[in-house]
Amino acid sequence: MKTTRKEIFWSPALIKKLRGKRTQEEFGSLLAVPKNTVWRWETGGVKPAGENAKRLSELADREYFLKDWKLVGSVEVLDDLEKGSKKLKKIVEASLRRASRMLDG
């Protein structure tokens, strides 16, 4: 599943998960931000926005982050492919937002 910056709400828990075992300094250098910025994101002091959120999403794409996430429940597409794809995209976005909030809690 390919994600885009629109699909991901970068919560502190999700950022920590993406950082993994890297230090905040290592992670910050990947994103061209100081380690203190990473720390503020992870503590919820500030939320990544704009270019930083885009960089997080690009890194997530490169590392296939969230590639194993699956929708809960079932989806039935009854219309043409494009219309069904749009419906599915909305469902996936909602699922990712819910999962982000759950990881945050």
Reported as a single tens digit per residue, the pLDDT across 43-84 is 999 999 889 999 998 998 888 876 666 545 555 545 566 777
Higher confidence at residue 13 or residue 104? 13
Higher confidence at residue 68 or residue 33? 33
The answer to whether 77 touches 92, Cβ cutoff 8 Å, is no
Higher confidence at residue 73 or residue 92? 92
Number of domains in the chain: 1
| Apex 104 CA angle, 57 and 56, nearest 5 | 10
CATH of the domain at 31: 1.10.260.40
Taking the C-alpha atoms of residue 72 and residue 60, their distance in angstroms, rounded to an integer, is: 21
Mean residue pLDDT across the chain? 81
| 49 three-state secondary structure | coil
Minimal CA–CA distance to 47: which of 11, 96, 5?
A: 11
| Apex 95 CA angle, 100 and 71, nearest 5 | 125
pTM, two decimal places: 0.58
Structural domain including 78 reads 5-104
